[in-house]
Chain A
Amino acid sequence: MGFRRMNIGILAIQGDYDAHAQALNRLGVAHSFVRRPEDLANIDGIILPGGESSTHLKVMSEEGLFDALKGFAANGGAFFGTCAGAILLAREVHGPAQASLGLLDVTILRNGYGRQLASDVHMGKTKLRKEPLEMVFIRAPIIESVGQGIEVLAEDAGHPVLVREGRVMAATFHPELTEDTTVHEYFLKQIAQ
């Protein structure tokens, strides 16, 4: 499947969902916003954006989206979560503990670097290409441990920051807040395969 024929869902409860929409626009890929379970029909993959994971979890549960997303995963749906989205995908969440979809075999610490004053932009190495990747960290979580099936695609300061397990991928930073579409393209390639 070529990118041009895809339609990517973006969870749009709250957060920077529009920044993801703009990244997909730059790649010429169609998107639709997901706010209810029925919005999962006819999408080829879903992006869980940055924002506040506790808010996303609360509204997802009330709307029946939590179970619907698990169903989407069970049917082979592809996921890409950034920051709050990575927290929602993790197997286990700390600081404080909260429920999660458990689609990615990692444990993750919310606000792992500290508060907003610790937010920063780094250049980091990635397996996706030779040149370093610009990584915007905003009150970012830290991936504390990864299971055996996890492929680490980028690290920063000794922590995995971009990981993948089959059709589920997560970044603790925000590629959608840069002009660089490398990470989004990689996600779309996984879907196309």
Chain B
Amino acid sequence: MDLMNNNLWRVKVGLAEMLKGGVIMDVTNAEQAKIAEDAGACSVMALERVPSDIRKDGGVARMAAPRIIREIMDTVSIPVMAKVRIGHFAEAQVLEALEVDYIDESEVLTPADEEHHVWKHGFKVPFVCGARNLGEALRRIGEGAAMVRTKGEAGSGNIVEAVRHMRAIVGHMKKLTTLGEEELMHEAKELGAPFELVAWVAKNGKLPVPNFSAGGIATPADAALVMQLGAESVFVGSGIFKSSDPAQRARAIVKATTHFTDAKAVLEASEELGEAMPGLDVRQVDEKDLLQTRGW
């Protein structure tokens, strides 16, 4: 791909490379950001309300107030990400002017455009986007996302959707590596994804950008699970600050993510934790209340 020779693209993906093996934590103010950094977060995601509150409160969820994001940027030395609504390129322009380190074009916020995502190649600041399957991941990369994460079901405290999405993405990539060249155009048509990206994945067996997991991670074992399924890093949203012991839980999830194949370390991380966040049975959630079906 020509992109690999593009220096802006390389430093966008480069920052995602630096976040591998780490935990990116949702925070709503500077105090939480400090707790996250002290616990070993490799980055924080600034937002107005954590997903479980967005789900509970309803209404329209928007980009966080610039004042809050700036306070967070002034408080921590790790990279600061912030969310924009799907398709809301003007919110993204504001965040770029604010000089955040990464923008999450996120289904957790209320979509601003039901047909078009942001044209992310048009920005200097890198973007991460959610995906439920390989086609969606490649469409977002085609628009310029330099990092992909599973959507999972944000704010549910239930890992089942993140597992479904990670298995779908990884499984489909494995399948692509077994296909002949003559089969790839049909596959691109079925996936609704750019042919060049489908061909790249078929040749390399992985995404051309880091592949992280988000949406429902609440425990150290949840983090170890998605990492073993192929995630290269984890986002934890409501799971930390909706638990009974945020600092301790944050440390525990960092430890489990570093040592994700070492069951003894994950056990150690899981000991003496308080209550995890309350969980939702995603099957009981009305279709219209699902966050993962926002965007395409």
A22–B228 Cα gap in the complex (Å)? 20
A15 within 8 A of B: yes
* A92 close to chain B: CB less than 8 A: no
Task: Point out the residue from B11, B77, B124 that lies within 8 Å of A96, measured CB to CB.
Answer: B77
Q: Mark B255-275, 1 if CB is under 8 A from A, else 0.
A: 101110010000000000000
CB of A139 within 8 A of CB of B258, answer: no
Question: Would you call B101 an interface residue if the criterion is a C-beta within 8 Å of the partner chain's C-beta atoms?
Answer: yes
- Name A138's closest neighbour in chain B (CB-CB): B14
Q: A174 to B14, Cβ gap below 8 A?
A: yes
* Cβ B259 vs Cβ A121 within 8 A: no
Contact status B10-A15, CB under 8 Å: no
Pairwise interchain contact B41-A55, C-beta atoms closer than 8 A: yes
CA distance A52 to B76 in the complex (A): 12
Interface size class of A (residues with CB under 8 A): 35 or more
Chain B residues with CB under 8 Å of A14's CB are: 19-22, 42, 257-258
Contact with B along A133-148 (1 / 0, CB 8 A): 0001111000000000
Is B60 on the interface with A (CB-CB < 8 A)? no
User: Once the chains are docked, how many angstroms separate the CA of A174 from the CA of B15?
Assistant: 11
Q: How many A-B residue pairs have CB under 8 A?
A: 113
Q: How far is the CB of A17 from chain B (nearest CB, A)?
A: 7
A54 lies within 8 A of chain B by Cβ: yes
In this complex, the member of B11, B18, B20, B79 whose beta carbon has the largest number of chain A beta carbons within 10 angstroms is B18
Contact A177 B10 (CB under 8 A): yes
Which residues of A have CB within 8 Å of B20? Answer: 14-18, 51
User: Are A116 and B126 in contact, with the CB atoms below 8 A?
Assistant: yes
Considering the chains assembled together, what is the distance between the CA atoms of A136 and B14 in angstroms?
8
Please report the total number of B residues contacting A with Cβ < 8 Å: 37
| B21 touching A116, Cβ below 8 Å | no
Q: Does B27 contact A (CB under 8 A)?
A: no
Query: In the complex the two chains form, what is the Cα distance from A96 to B102 in whole Å?
Result: 21
| B43 at interface, CB cutoff 8 A | yes
Q: Is the beta-carbon distance between A59 and B17 smaller than 8 angstroms? A: no
Q: Which residues of A contact B42 (CB under 8 A)?
A: 14-15, 51-52, 55
- State A54–B36 Cα separation when bound (angstroms): 11
Q: What are the residues of chain A within 8 A of B99 when measuring CB–CB?
A: 114-117
User: Inside 8 A of B39's CB, which chain A residues have their CB?
Assistant: 58
Q: Name A residues whose Cβ lies closer than 8 Å to a Cβ of B.
A: 12-19, 35, 50-52, 54-55, 58-59, 62, 83-84, 95-96, 110-111, 114-117, 119-121, 136-139, 174, 177
- A116-B101, A116-B126, A136-B11 given. 17 additional CB < 8 A pairs? A12-B258, A16-B18, A50-B18, A51-B18, A51-B21, A51-B42, A52-B18, A52-B22, A55-B42, A59-B40, A96-B77, A110-B77, A115-B101, A116-B100, A117-B124, A138-B11, A138-B17
